[in-house]
Amino acid sequence: MIQIHALPAFNDNYIWLLQDLSSQQCVVVDPGDAAPVLEWLAQNPHCRLTDILITHHHNDHVGGVVEL
């Protein structure tokens, strides 16, 4: 089963995190900022970020990719 988390980013955006509950692998979509993702991962140490999906190149969607 996949659980979807909306991580608030900036003042008006979200980073979507998809968590596979059976494997505890996670995927993030359009991480414009790494901080919300890193905070969520720190609070959920049993989960492992395996993939990053990008829908387009704007900075509010790719700004956190390098740090992640």
Name the residue ranges covered by the structural domains of the chain: 2-23+34-62
The reported pLDDT for the residue numbered 30 is 96
Please give the average per-residue pLDDT across 55-66, as a whole number: 91
**CA pair distance 1, 19, nearest whole angstrom:** 8
Cβ-proximal residues to 29 (8 Å cutoff; 6+ apart), any chain: 15, 16, 17, 18, 52, 53, 54, 55
Q: Considering the chain, what is the average pLDDT of its residues?
A: 96
The pLDDT of residue 53 is above 90: yes
Asked if 68 and 49 count as a contact pair (C-beta separation under 8 A), the reply is: yes
**CA pair distance 68, 63, nearest whole angstrom:** 10
What's the predicted TM-score (pTM) here? Answer: 0.92
Here the tokens at position 13 are 């955006």
The reported pLDDT for the residue numbered 60 is 85
